[in-house]
A and B are shown apart, each in its own frame.
Chain A
Amino acid sequence: MIRIENLKKTYHAGETDVKALRDINVEIEKGDFISIAGPSGSGKTTLLNMIGCIDTPDSGQIFINGKAVSEMSNNEKALFRRENLGFVFQSYNLIPVLTAFENVAFSLNLLGRKEDEIKNEVNKLLDEVGLKGMENRRPDKLSGGQQQRVAIARALIKQPAIILADEPTANLDSATGEEVVKLMKEMNRKHNITFIFSTHDKMVMDYAQRLILLHDGNIQSDIRR
C-alpha cells in the first residue's frame, strides 16, 4: 500500500545541515497499525510528514496505492490528502470556534458531502468514539482526551486509506493516552484503516503490531509482532 524508496531529507538551519532522513526504505501494508519510535530528532515526524504529503523529500520516492505522491503538485497533494489521508496531531488542532460535531464534519465539508449525509455519519462516529452527548461542545469545553477523540473522529470520518498520528498521546496523562490508543486500535480493527503513529511512549508502542525504530534518520529496527 505504501512503498518508500531511498527517502532522504536534510534541513538547513543557518550553516548547519541536519540530516532528518538518510535513506529510508520501507513498505507498509493496508490495515497495519504501526508505531514509529525513536528519540527526539530521529526523524519520526519528518517521515510522517513525508507519508502525509505535507513535506517534500530531497530525493527518493513515496508510492501510496501505486501513486508517486512526492511528484504531485501542491494542489494535487491537497486533493490527495483530502480524500486519502487522515491526521491526528499532538496538540489536537481542533478549530476552536467549531463544536465537536462541526470539527468532525470539517473533513466531509471539504469533500463537499451533503448536509444530511454529514449529520448521520458524524453522529454515528461520535457515538462510536464515545462522545455521544458532547456534539455541541466546543473544544474548550472538552478534556484533552475528549479533544483527541474528536481529532481521531475527524481523521476517521472520511474513511481514509491511512491515518497519520504524530505523538497522539504526548499531551495526555497515561490513562487517557491508553484509552486513545485503544480507540485507535479498535478503529483500525473495525474499519481496516492503516494507522501510522509516532511516539516516545513505551505503552503506546506495545499496542503496535509493527514497530519501526528510527535513529539519526535511519531505520534502526523494523519489528513485526
Chain B
Amino acid sequence: MIFLIKLSLKNLARYRKRTAITSLSIAVGLAFYIFLDSMIIGSVYDSEKNLFMYETGHGVIQTEEYWKEKDLLPLEYSIKNSSEITAILDKLGVPYAERTNFSADMIVYKDPYPEDGNLPVKVTAIDYKNDSNVFGIGETLEKGRFPQNEEEGIVIGAWLAEDIGADIGYPVTLVTRTKSGYYQVIDLEITGIINTTNPVVNREALLIPRGIAEIYLEMEGSITDINLKFNGSRNNSKIISLLRKELSGTGCSFHTWQEMVPDFVIASEGDMKGSGVMLIIIFIIVAVGISNTMLMAIFERVHEIGMMRALGMKDLSVKWLFRIEAAGIGLLGSSAGVLLGVFINIPLIIYGIDYSKMMREGNYGYRMIGIMRGMWHAEAFITAFFAGILLSFLVSFIPTRRALKKDIPSCIRD
C-alpha cells in the first residue's frame, strides 16, 4: 500500500496544472461553503443574543389562554397570581422580568410631527429596574431618559422615531382597551429613544412604565408576561423541567424563546438547510471535476495501466492507485479550501459585511442590524475537509472501473 501511495503522489505531481486546477475548484467550493456557514452561524448567534437581550429572554411564562391567543395580546388573560409565579422563580433562582404587552392605535398629529397619522402598535409596559434582570434595554438609550414609574412618558425605538419623525418631548396618543374591554386613551410624551442591536425592537418598540399601564389599563396588579433568563445554558433543560412541574396547576405555562419567535426559527432553519443544499451543489461540482480529471488521467495512461497489469499488478491495486490519486486531489483541495476558509473568515469575523441598509428596509427574521459577522464553526471546517477527501475518493470509483474495462493486450496496443 505504501508503494501505491508513493506512486499515486508522484502521479499527482505529474499533472501539476490539472491537479492544481481541480484542487482549486474544490478549494473555492469548500471555502464558499465555509464562508456561507460562517455567515449563517454568525447571524444566528448574533440574532439569538439580540433576541435574548431585547425581545424574549430565554423564555416566557404566560397563562395558557393568553398563549393560545397571544397574537391578539388579550389583556383579559393576563397573569393574576404573578406573586405566586415569581415566588416559584425566586425558589428556583431564575431571574425574571414582568411585562405587560398590549395592542393600541398610536396617533400622531401634524406639528410637531411632519404629518397626521395613526399606526397599530404593540406597547410593552415595563418596570425599568426589574426589566434589567433579563433584558438589556437600559443600556440602549440613545436620547432622553426612561420615565418614572407613574410618569406619563414613553420610550420608542430609534427606527420608529425616524420613520414617524418623532423626537424627545413629542406627544403620542395611544388608543387602546382596558383589561375589562373599555376604550381608553393615553396621552404620553416621548422621554427617550432607544437604539438596540435588534431591528425589531428599533422598528417597533414602544415602552411605557408599568405604573401607567396599571392605572390606564386597570390591570389590578396583573401582568401578561414573565420573561426569564437562565444562567449558563440558554436551554437549561433541568431548570425548565423543574419549572414546568412547579407551574402545573397555576394556570400558567412556560414557553421557550424558540416558541416565541417562530419567524426567526423558520428563517434560521431555512438558511441552515440552504447551506446544506449549497454544500450538495458544491459537492456535485467537485464530483464532476474529480471525475473528469480522473477520466483524463485514466485515458492518458492506458498503456501504463496495461503494462502494470502485465507485470502482475492486480486489478484491485490499479483501482486503488487511482482512488488514492483522487483522494490526494481531494486532500489538496480540502486543505486549500479550509485554509482559504480561514483567510476569508478572519476579516468576516473582525469586520463583517454591512447589511444595514437591507436590514433597515425589511424584516428578514434575523435580529441583527448593520454588520453581519461570521463565526468560527469547527464543525463546518471538519465537514468541508473530510467530505472533500471522501467525496473525491468515492467519485473516483466510476472512472477507475473504466481503467480496467479494456483487456491487457488492448491497453498495451492502443
Q: Could you list which residues of chain A lie within 8 angstroms of chain B, going by C-beta atoms?
A: 45, 49, 52, 54-55, 74-75, 78-83, 85, 87, 89, 91, 93, 95-98, 106-107, 109-110, 154
Contact = CB atoms under 8 A, between A and B. Distances in A.
Given A78-B314, A81-B310, A95-B304, A109 B408 contact: no
Contact of B303 (A81, A83, A93, A106): A93
Contacts of A81: 310-312
Interface string B175-216: 000000000000000000000000000000000000000000
B307 A89 contact: yes
A96 B310 contact: no
A159 B283 CA distance: 48
A82 B312 contact: yes
B295 interface: no
A120 to B, nearest CB: 18
B309 A93 contact: no
Main secondary structure of the interface of A (DSSP, over half): helix
B11 interface: yes
Nearest to A99: B10
Interface of B: 3, 7, 10-11, 13-14, 303-304, 306-315, 407-409, 412
A87 B407 contact: no
B310 A74 contact: no
A109 B3 contact: yes
Nearest to B316: A75
Contacts of B311: 81-82, 87, 106-107, 110, 154
B312 to A, nearest CB: 3
A89 B304 CA distance: 11
A89 B412 contact: yes
Contacts of B312: 78-83, 85, 107, 110
A96 B14 contact: yes
Nearest to A49: B409
A78 B407 contact: no
Contacts of B304: 93, 95-96
B10 A52 contact: no
B371 to A, nearest CB: 50
B303 A54 contact: no
A201 B316 CA distance: 38
Contacts of A85: 312
Nearest to B12: A97
Given A87-B307, A89-B412, A93-B304, A78 B315 contact: yes
Contacts of A110: 3, 311-313
B126 to A, nearest CB: 74
Contacts of B10: 97-98
Nearest to B408: A54
B307 to A, nearest CB: 4
Nearest to A92: B307
B102 to A, nearest CB: 78
Given A49-B409, A95-B304, A54 B310 contact: yes
Contacts of A96: 14, 304
B412 to A, nearest CB: 6
A98 to B, nearest CB: 7
Closest 10 interchain pairs by CB? A82-B312, A93-B307, A54-B408, A97-B10, A81-B312, A109-B3, A97-B14, A78-B314, A49-B409, A87-B310
Contacts of B409: 45, 49, 54-55
